[in-house]
Structure formats: structure tokens, C-alpha cells
Structure 1
């Protein structure tokens, strides 16, 4: 393996059979990210600045060849190893000994799936203040050591005011089954009220009161996957604002008002079912609580409210709505079935099952060579 072969590997990554030995800014940044060469001294921002320097390439050009790549590596080495006479040799050695593009690490997969927004938000080299102190130079979390707060005098790594401070790793023997005990950190939801309180306090800090605003009420239904075609996110917002639940001027609800809201939600979700309230309360109690660790929840959290709203199939209307089932899963060909106007086809006929967009020139080609 040589420096040039690494350069060519990253140039051709994702470029197909016609990939040329030229590297754009995205692949240049990918090289340093995938080979874990970024740290506090040498950040992703430094990589972007180096690539755009006129010492590397003319300003109008968007890609670099191997010789220009070597100039860029030289500039990167001077930033990463300041004052070291062998800085270029060191950095080239690390690049040559790297794993190449397309790393199979979990962080790389999350980055690829979630896009550049997630990539930037999870780049620990850009963190500042107390967040910066919670990660080492390689981006690995320091754990308890990173949470210790000498100023507060706690030194135990727990957030100030956390009522269960010191409980991490300890066993709650009352949660066991047939002699098997479980950690207190994994035991959730013994009652409806405890679920209510856990969502009320989520992100509220030490002053969190047992009152729930609209955002957390909506979060409860979203995190516990209780939304479907019958009970949508819009329904949840409307229920929260009803005068049957709380006075119009109030912005938060207590537990009793929460139960009233649950009753209205249950009637909407299970129309005509005498046990609707019991059913919905059961689902809430058996849920995972706020801050779900599922991959989809992590992506939603990292990508922000815009992505969350745009991918919420319960809010889709018209023909888009018909392409997804109640769980949000796409119906595939069945969801595209329609009697396209002007095609001379009878709705529901064999010809109409093609589900091609009207005017598509290659209609009938699917599956054919």
C-alpha cells in the first residue's frame, strides 16, 4: 500500500466504474474522518480550509490530483504536528496504514445514514465549553470523569440535583423475577403516574416539576409509538388544547389533567371500545420512557424537528397518505396503484397495476433487461 493507492481508493469510493483519480472536498474530508486523523489540534474545519487554499489548487478548480493532494497533506501535517520536522512523514504513515474508505464502524454507519447534519453535530472536535471536556482527543467519551464538576463539589459525575445520584450500576432487588435482579437504570414505568413524571422531568433539570407542556405530551405519544392513522400528531395537539383538559390560558397540565387527556386520546385511538382507556394506559405503562435508545429515535434527535416533521407519515395527505400504512411503513406497489387520468385504463385492471407515474417513458420496463 502506498500514499497514491490510498488517494485513488478514496477518489473511486462511490464513483462507479468511471471514477477518475481526482478528489473533491467531500472525499478529502472523508479520508481524514474515516482514518480518524481529526483531533483538537487538527479539526474538520482545518481540512476544509486546507482544501480551498491556493497553495493546493487554483481557486476555480473543485478537485485535486495526486500532486495537489500531497501539498494538502503537507499543510495538514504542519497543523497536526506543529514544530515536528518529521510531521509530513508521520501523517503520510498514518494515512498509508489506515483502513481505507467505507469503514464498518457504527459511527461511520450512522454518519452515512444520517447525512452531513448529523456528521457535524457529532464531531466532538468542534465541541466547546463543558461539552468539550466530556470527550478525549479521539472523540471517545470520558464517562464519569468527564461529568465531574469540582466547582459544585459533587465530583460524582451526576447532574446537579439528580435524585438518584450514586445509583448507577446498583441493583434494585424489588424488580427481580424468579430471583433475577435488574439494574435500577433499566427498570421503567411501574405506574401511569411514574411515566407522566418521567416525561415531565425529561430535560427539565433539578427544578423539574410534575407538570407537562404540549411538547412533552406530544413526545410521550411519539416516543412510545402510539401514533397511527386514527390518532395523529395533530390530534394530540388538539387534545392538549381542549378546555375539557385544562383552562385555555394554562400552558401545562398536572397528572389529573393528563388522565383526562389520555381518556380523549383513547377514544380517538380505539373508537367504540369500552376498554379504550385501559388499553391506552397499558401501552403507556409498558413503554420505554423518554429518550428511547432506538436508532430511529437517535436519528430524529440528531437531525432536529424539521426532519421529524417531514418524515411523519401521519401528517401526509392526498395520494402521499395512501402510500403508507398505519405504522408508517410504505405499501410499495400497492400504494402506487391508481387509475391514472388519460391512460385509457380501467381502475383496478391488470394494466392499471403497473403503478408508473403518468407520462413515464420507460413504462413497462420494470424487471426487464
Structure 2
């Protein structure tokens, strides 16, 4: 096996895991790898990918290692009647992709020159200001004189 295949395995195994580099691949990332590499077709379906993953992993594990990954690719190659090297090349050429959408610009949200009211002045706050206009200026916080009060 080539280093490029091992690097592709690590890239797909680590996809969606933040900065961590993973040495084991779960079923979700295995399916993504097969889909992004363009191996899915009428013979190798999403169901077939899931079944193959379950066959190659250890009974109690949730992930597969690189050797088990290669075994799964060899199984797919046998079903497709091609050399495993063909599938290895497809995996090496693929990389994990994201299909997220990007929000369009919103005039009244993005342009701070168009803000009005409270937001024009920096937005609301839950901290009382000590300057005039704050609650502290309206309250008498001196000690109370309770002499002569009967309860």
C-alpha cells in the first residue's frame, strides 16, 4: 500500500473531528470516503458499503483500521471485477469535501451604519451605568433610620 492511500485514509478518518488526526475510521466517514471517491454505483450501493463495513470491522469495535479499510476496498474490487489498484487510485485522488451553504449578505444586519435605536449606541446591556440616567442615580442607598418604628 502506498503512503498516498494511507494519507487519504487518515484525511477521511479525521474529517469532522476538529484538529485530531484519527487512525481509525467510523462508518459515517467510511461511507463519505467511498462516495467522495466516486466508487458508489449500481453494484456498490450505500447499503453495500454499510454491510461491507460491518463485515470487515471487529465484532465489538465501532471503527476500522487501515488494514481493514484495504480489505473492504479489495471486496469492492472483487464485486466490480477490477483490480484493487483502480480503487486505491480513486481513494488517493479524492479528498473530503463539505457541501455547506454560505449565507448571503443581509443589508440591515451587516451594515452597521444602518443600525438604529439602542443598537446604534452599542446595544443593550444588563449592567447598570453609574453615570446620570442609570438606576444608581435614582436610588437612595444611605442607611435607613428605623428608630421609633413599631412593628
TM-score bracket, normalised by the shorter chain, equals 0.5 to 0.7
Segments ≥4 residues shifted beyond 4 Å: none
Distance 1:75 1:66 in 2: 14
2:67 equivalent to 1:67: yes
- TM-score under structure 1 normalisation? 0.26
How do 1:224-303 and structure 2 match up within 5 A?
none
Q: C-alpha displacement at 1:62, in angstroms? A: 0.3
Distance 2:90 2:126 in 1: 60
Distance 1:97 1:349 in 2: 53
How do 1:124-163 and structure 2 match up within 5 A?
none
2:54 equivalent to 1:52: yes
Q: C-alpha displacement at 1:349, in angstroms? A: 6.3
SS in 1 for 2:53: helix
Partner of 1:88: 84
Partner of 1:350: 126
SS in 1 for 2:29: helix
How many equivalent pairs are there? Answer: 105
SS in 1 for 2:9: helix
Structure 1: tracts of 5 or more residues without a match: 104-108, 114-333, 335-347, 353-369
Partner of 2:97: 102
Structure 2: tracts of 5 or more residues without a match: 102-117, 119-123, 129-151
> Residues 53 and 72 of structure 2 are in contact (CA less than 8 Å); yes or no, is this contact kept in structure 1?
yes
Structure with greater Cα Rg: 2
Distance 2:18 2:125 in 1: 40
Distance 1:75 1:49 in 2: 11
Calculate the aligned-residue CA RMSD, in Å. Answer: 2.3
- TM-score under structure 2 normalisation? 0.61
Cα–Cα, structure 1 residues 350 and 62, in superposed 2: closer, same or farther, change >3 Å?
same
Distance 1:349 1:58 in 2: 56
